[in-house]
Amino acid sequence: FHTVNGGITLELPATFSAEVRAETVNGDIETEFPLTVTGRFGPRHLRGTVGNGGRELDLGTVNGSIRLRKAT
């Protein structure tokens, strides 16, 4: 998922697994999932594994924040 002006919020199952890459220019990145860092990690860049990894999840925005939430 990519956007220019807007944030990205995903609500995912608690059992979610993926290789995650997220980047924002003007915003922050938050996750409710435990994450194993496999690359860059900072307030605007994240590369890591959630759960057992597997599929790739690529998220990016210019003006907005990225949030990964556990669905309730």
Per-residue pLDDT tens over the stretch 10-68:
999 999 999 999 999 999 999 999 999 987 778 899 999 999 999 999 999 999 999 99
Helix (H), strand (E), coil (C) string for the chain: CEEEECCEEEEECCCCCEEEEEEEEECCEEECCCEEEEEEECCCEEEEEECCCCCEEEEEEEECCEEEEECC
pTM, two decimals, is: 0.90
